[in-house]
Amino acid sequence: AEKARSDDLSGQLRTLSERVGQAARLERAYIALQDAHRAQGAELAKAQADARHVGKYKQTVRAQEKLIAKLESLVRPALRDAKKGKEAGGELDELRAKLAAMEAQHAEAAGVGTEEHVKLVMRAEQAERRATATEAELADNARRYAREIAALKLKLAEKEAELMGGFGSQVNLELDELPQPNPRDP
Query: Which pLDDT tens digit goes with each residue over 104-113?
Result: 776 666 555 5
Better-predicted residue by pLDDT, 32 or 149: 32
Quote the CA–CA distance of 110 and 103 in Å, as a whole number. 10
Quote the CA–CA distance of 116 and 139 in Å, as a whole number. 34
At position 37, the amino acid (one-letter code) is H
Q: Are 71 and 156 in contact (CB under 8 A)?
A: yes
What is the pLDDT at residue 162?
Answer: 75
Better-predicted residue by pLDDT, 144 or 110: 144
Instruction: Identify the helix (H) or strand (E) that includes residue 57.
Output: helix 2-110
What is the pLDDT at residue 167?
Answer: 54
Q: Are 105 and 158 in contact (CB under 8 A)?
A: no
Give tens-digit pLDDT for 75-117.
888 778 777 777 776 777 777 788 788 877 766 665 555 677 6
Over residues 163-179, mean pLDDT: 53
What is the pLDDT at residue 164?
Answer: 76
Comparing 26-30, 140-144, 167-171, the range with the smallest average pLDDT is 167-171
Q: Are 85 and 138 in contact (CB under 8 A)?
A: yes
Quote the CA–CA distance of 60 and 82 in Å, as a whole number. 32
Better-predicted residue by pLDDT, 125 or 19: 19
| Phi, then psi, of 141 in degrees rounded to 5 | -60, -40
Count how many residues are written for the chain: 186
What is the pLDDT at residue 104?
Answer: 75
Which residues have a Cβ under 8 Å from the Cβ of 15 and sit 6 or more positions away? none
In Å, how far are 32, 39, 139, 163 from 36, measured between CA atoms?
Answer: 6, 5, 72, 45
Q: Please say whether the dihedral angle defined by the alpha carbons of residues 50, 55, 56 and 60, taken in this order, is positive or negative.
A: positive
Give tens-digit pLDDT for 4-57.
889 999 999 999 999 999 999 999 999 999 999 999 999 999 988 888 888 788
Quote the CA–CA distance of 63 and 72 in Å, as a whole number. 14
Query: Would you place residue 134 in the very low, low, confident or very high pLDDT band (cuts 50, 70, 90)?
Result: confident
Quote the CA–CA distance of 111 and 116 in Å, as a whole number. 10
Q: Are 128 and 71 in contact (CB under 8 A)?
A: no
What is the pLDDT at residue 172?
Answer: 46
What is the pLDDT at residue 113?
Answer: 54
What is the separation of C-alpha 98 from the centre of its chain, rounded to a whole number of angstroms?
A: 48
At position 157, the amino acid (one-letter code) is A
**128, pLDDT greater than 60:** yes
